[in-house]
Structure 1
Amino acid sequence: MLYREAGQFKTTYAQDMAMFPIRQDRIAFILLLALAFLVVPLLAKLQIWPFGGEYLLRAILIPFLILSLAAIGVNILVGYCGQISLGSGAFMAVGAYSAYKFGTGINIPLAWLGTAIVIPPLPVLPSILLGGLMAAFAGVLFGVPSLRIKGLYLAVATLAAQFFFDWVFLRVPWFTNYSSSGSVNAPALNFFGLTMNSPIERYFICLSFVTVFALLAKNLVRGNIGRQWMAIRDMDIAAELMGIRPLYAKLTAFAVSSFIVGVAGALWAFVYLGSWEPLAFSIDRSFQLLFMVIIGGLGSILGAFLGAAFILVLPILLDQVPHALGIPISVETVSLLVFIITGSLICYLLIVEPHGFARLWSTAKEKLRLWPYPY
């Protein structure tokens, strides 16, 4: 119930704790879902770049959605809990290779017992979710040092996870079903008896995962555990004096973050790549996800999408500008200009608004709410 008293708007506690407490946010969310589920598939059928064709789905929207999901996981750990991590690419790899093993069957010989542990191949959906669980387990193991160290020292500790899993998936052939090159092929995308191979079907798979996990993350960070994460982020000693257990708060942040990142890694391997090798989840991927979170906005679910759009989509659009305007220019020069423009925009953004695009959007939204009386 909303009422006004002495020039002040007041709301109930339930309204303040709602996932979307402001009406314009609810309307914007519904319109965004309608755009993603209805309008984009229609535009994809048009052969007018950049609003049509398989290129829009395969090269832009599908990787954008998957990396946005991974950025949400990184933001939970870095933005909400304040634990710097450089091992996101490794946890994506754990999710991808674990999902691959569950999807193709597991055979662990126990020579000393004269038997073996055999798990038959699982459907794709359970394989992806179990891959996320294995990534969560790995995240908890490498999150234990966060109980003793923090800041750049913790970043170096999580960087060890990146190097460790890069070595494991490259040198231990069991994870790749004894492939000599280390590359593997994902099983068929069979969901509930339906094989989904077309770009539009793969797009809907990614969109469904991203929608569900984004809403779960949004609901999680506004609850009790989310408040514990933010208390640890702001001042861990004061949070501990208030009764918050750092062990529980930090390790749950690592577990939830790594689970989401692991699911994103499985989607990246199964839905986007189809076949991959350990280099697909190198340290460059970890830095890319961290930059998405910083540019998009720390401690913001929306910031994960904005950061992914800036890092992934904007360079593709800039690369097509000379061609659209009919400017004769070489490919090498265009690539160089894209790097220069993107880097300049990053510097300008971090100077003008260090809190990223999410803060800019929040400021614009507040001005829109007060319009036409901004003061």
Structure 2
Amino acid sequence: MHIDRFPAVAAARADGRVIADNAGGTQVPRECVEAVGAYLARDNAQKGGTFARKIRTTETVERARAAYAELAGVPPETIGLGANSTTIALAMSRALASSIRPGDRIVVTDSDHYANVVPWTSLRRFGAEVDRIPVDARGELDERAFAQALAREPVLVALPWASNGTGNVFDVARLSAAAQDAGALVIADAVQAAPHVSLTIPDTLDALFFSTYKVYGPHLGVWYARPELAERFFTADEDALPSSGVHWSMETGTQSHETLAGWLGTAEYLRGIGDGSVRTAIARIDAYERELAAYARARFAERADAVTLYGRPAKEERLPVFAFNVRGVAPQTLAETLEAHGVEAALGDYYTPRLMRTLAPETNGVAVRLSFAHYNDTADIDQAFRAIDAVIGIAA
């Protein structure tokens, strides 16, 4: 599906290789590549001013903001730009630190990437107390522990939209509603969800963030916040010049204009496959990837006697993200065998150490991860499973 539009994917396919580490970062379409070069060749300038390059640069930044807003289904004035999700979450944390009082409670989950954990646990330096929500053997959040944590009236709850370790998708609307009812500020990590599902941000979610390089774009981060949060994210002084949007509160310095231009190229590609709509494109990608994930889940189910698939059982839906091990084989050996068969897979704990140590204690949380995107197909999955079968043969 659309392989020819992605130069890196087409080159890998020509070399007999499979790009299957898409949860770590997706490849970019040709429109993105060309847009980055075109900006640097013609428009390289700072925002503001009266000459043409400055005007075009300002337009590039605001058009990129609008394209992010289209993806998230929110007004552009609620969108802010940043370097990446981790940096954005840390900026939010530091901005909120002044409002933390000794004894304030913060809730984080063991399912989350550390980008949505460490920024919040760092608030212990200001007197906050942290409640961690554990996961069960399926990678699901412990609902009883979550309810108990909310009963302690936290000031902030950090939630995962989807797990980059297991592909599990969580009911953010329900979880955020419960957290809001408890009086908490609710922030979600949508990094793994954004490339796979159409984001519908519930009214009970105060802020979220994701990274463009997971959504077929360059290395950038983006965040959404309710407008009334802007003043909490920014300590105003007499020289502050806030604009009409939330972005004035945390957009510091000069943004990467060329990569914002690249994101506009990605948005052009998405609109091309979505009848002019970025959200329609993501919905179509979601439908295709559900079929792709079902095909992979069936292949895992056929090998259940030899392969441990982490997260929800193979019969249940998930994103096209699969962390697994072959029993009796070191994860390093499994990853090296996949590489020898031309399959690019991830190895490690994916910055979710508590999740993976719970699911894979036998390897101290280390597993191999295959993750697919809409430019993959069933032939890619078959190639991966030929490598897995070779490893199973070694272990037999």
What is the TM-score of this pair, normalised by structure 2?
0.27
Higher helix share: 1
What is the TM-score of this pair, normalised by structure 1?
0.28
Higher strand share: 2
| Higher RCO, 1 vs 2 (CA within 8 Å, ≥6 residues apart) | 1
